[in-house]
A and B are shown apart, each in its own frame.
Chain A
């Protein structure tokens, strides 16, 4: 059997005063899939980065097939046959797939005989269940193809233990099945052992043999998947019993379109149209979810809507033309929840109270002619922080000292307390912990029930099916499919995301 048996014993890693990993031990059996579950910041990445030589553990040992090994650099991991498919792909964008594969070899050839290399690559590819063009630049591959190319790269390098970091986050359900199914097939034949980092329970139950759950840097649960229920795994992950969630009450959707987009076209960063003739209406008390694999124009659509990107076409809010000027944003009640709120909705080095006033510091009561009334500004911050339970060391704390969940609460407080008529949310829960996620979802539904028209762009299908009244699918810059959530299935939405229309 080629696959590796891996034992991690007492792995500890500290960054300054923070203990990122606290004596984590786990065993990956040869030819098995071992799932690693945990919230963001639980230490999953730190653990695997110690395995591939990016971090040095402060304590603990790594045993490969029973022998202790020191892994100081990625080269050492490579020699042991340990490789990783990163969440952010590590293909070189301007090189072809073939060049990428050849460049990844441990010993770079002095002179490359492309004829022989291509022949070898083609014969390797013929053993795979999926096809990747060899002479296309990596930048032109879709997210799914990139994921497959990364996988092929690792197999080409003859890996015996493979770490997959949230491999399906950018894949459609069908692609996910294809990729993980192939991985499962390789482990079953004993060619490979796999560590699968994920936050999707169905992937754990379907593809993994064992599971280790990390919380706050410690392994709080480890065992056979068949012995654990999803509820047990979820509770171990978040550290307390799941509250029984009541179905959210919803008011009826209105008939008046509050946000109306007509033939919106916007040019992307590299100069090609990223949003193509998009027309869409969002009504009062309605959440329209935009599904799509990342990079299909969602980012550009949001930027065009909020006035951050040049565009053609017409946007109307409550019947009047909207171009995203500051005055219109305020008068028409257009608010936004962008992804990565610290970067896109805050000024990280300004204080919490200043960030809370970014929307209205230039209007009374905070503005007095050209001056800012600091008392009024502080009073507003106190009220919002109290109401939304933002935890910070003080109102003068710099925004970037707050935790991710508290930054999000602060942004929710700023964006959702006024009279919201249109809300544009884009991956609003990306990178948030379980609790902040739930809170954000509740606030969005709340805004909807209070009469707002909500456009929710998300790469997370579960989130869309949970929140949206209607789902549209965006693919290559166009809206290609539309369905009422009540009659939608993930399978069909996923197929449209993948471009089958």
Chain B
């Protein structure tokens, strides 16, 4: 027997590594969507921000040689796109769902258009942190090479929870999202808060996109995203608008997404595409389970149009 073989442990290890890798964009996009939805608006266009962010990050990293600058620019690109959503939805009688879907198409289209010249070249990737130093087994070491953005995402989830419950801004955001009447009576600027919340959500979605193109091995292509931006919306509902739960839900989705590749890595190639569909199937099941009429839905922000 090969001494470096770890036998059946390969599968859970591959799923764990995959979960961490796949979940990182989910974490950022869902936390961003969490902020936006807490303000009473839904942005279905985050897929556009994600792809745009991925393209911008890769391009900037290639042109400047600094992946972190790429992350920042991805965030700014996402934020601009989020602001556009926020402003458009502030026009009377404009529906946030419809705007979101059209911005999703616009965002991916722009990314493909501007991203053409960057498909070939190789840009520097984001650094990883090796948590497998204690082990001599190469599989474990490589599985635990974890991207720095993942840790940033975890920190962000806890930070957001603090913002929502323990700061004046958080209370203002929740007031605006839950009851427009109350917010107006208290003198909050409802529209401004919502635009800012959508911008912030867009920023995080852009950062999530940068992970797609800048994590090892890192490349920009048009097939980079597989709908993470859309699934993040479902994920936020599943997480009941709580950042910590959104973190766990992201890991769960990531794990589901990693089943297919992990099995393939072990040589199980039958049903490859079926296993790859696991996250989408999970999305369906979760949506049905969490939006059933028989389930009390008290956590939903009251002004959210998907709930009205």
Contacts and interface: CB of A to CB of B under 8 A. Distances in A.
A314 to B, nearest CB: 22
A418 interface: no
Residue in B166, B167, B182, B184 whose Cβ sees the most chain A Cβ within 10 Å: B182
A267 B292 CA distance: 13
Interface string B165-200: 011110110110011011011110000000000000
B85 to A, nearest CB: 24
B298 A94 contact: yes
A493 B179 CA distance: 33
A103 B167 contact: no
A159 to B, nearest CB: 13
Interface string B226-241: 0000000000000000
A92 interface: yes
Nearest to B179: A92
B204 to A, nearest CB: 21
A75 B187 contact: yes
A91 B174 CA distance: 12
Given A108-B171, A109-B168, A267-B293, A90 B299 contact: no
A68 interface: no
A95 B171 contact: yes
B206 interface: no
A86 B181 contact: yes
Given A108-B171, A111-B167, A271-B296, A93 B179 contact: yes
A109 B293 CA distance: 38
A422 B186 CA distance: 46
A271 B185 contact: no
Contacts of B187: 53, 73-75, 78, 106
Contact of B296 (A93, A95, A110, A270): A270
A86 B180 CA distance: 13
Nearest to B302: A93
Contacts of A91: 179, 182
A403 to B, nearest CB: 26
A53 B294 CA distance: 42
B168 A92 contact: no
B186 A104 contact: yes
B174 A94 contact: yes
Nearest to A268: B296
A118 to B, nearest CB: 13
A263 to B, nearest CB: 20
Contacts of B300: 94
A114 B175 contact: no
Nearest to A107: B168
A96 to B, nearest CB: 10
Residue in B168, B185, B297, B300 whose Cβ sees the most chain A Cβ within 10 Å: B185
Contact of B171 (A75, A78, A102, A267): A102
A272 B296 contact: yes
A112 B167 contact: yes
A103 B167 CA distance: 10
Interface in A77-103: 78, 84, 86, 88, 90-95, 99, 102-103
Given A75-B187, A86-B185, A93 B297 contact: no
B171 A90 contact: no
Interface residues of B, number: 27
A95 B187 CA distance: 18
B295 interface: yes
| Chain A interface category by residue count | 20 to 34
B168 A95 contact: no
Contacts of A73: 187
Interface in B281-306: 292-302
A272 B298 CA distance: 11
Interface string B198-226: 00000000000000000000000000000
B293 A110 contact: no
Contact of A84 (B175, B185, B292, B301): B185
Contacts of B293: 267, 271
A417 interface: no
B297 A92 contact: no
Interface in B151-176: 166-169, 171-172, 174-175
A238 to B, nearest CB: 30
Interface string B253-276: 000000000000000000000000
Contact of A94 (B172, B185, B295, B302): B302
Contacts of B299: 94
Given A108-B168, A111-B167, A112-B168, A93 B186 contact: no
B181 A95 contact: no
A90 B167 CA distance: 20
A189 interface: no
Contacts of A54: 184
Nearest to A78: B187
B171 to A, nearest CB: 4
B298 A270 contact: yes
Interface string A107-123: 01111101000000000
A42 B295 CA distance: 43
Contact of A114 (B166, B184, B297): B166
A230 interface: no
Contacts of B168: 103, 108-112
A139 interface: yes
Given A92-B178, A108-B168, A111-B167, A270 B297 contact: yes
A108 B169 contact: yes
A103 B172 contact: yes
A95 B294 contact: no
B302 A110 contact: no
A137 B178 CA distance: 12
B298 A139 contact: yes
Contacts of A88: 181
Contact of A137 (B167, B172, B292, B298): B298
A110 B182 contact: no
Contact of A271 (B169, B178, B295): B295
* Ranked 10 nearest A-B pairs via Cβ: A108-B168, A103-B171, A90-B182, A74-B187, A90-B185, A75-B187, A92-B178, A270-B296, A271-B296, A271-B294
13 contacts: A53-B187, A54-B184, A74-B185, A74-B186, A78-B187, A86-B181, A90-B182, A103-B174, A103-B186, A104-B186, A111-B167, A271-B292, A272-B296
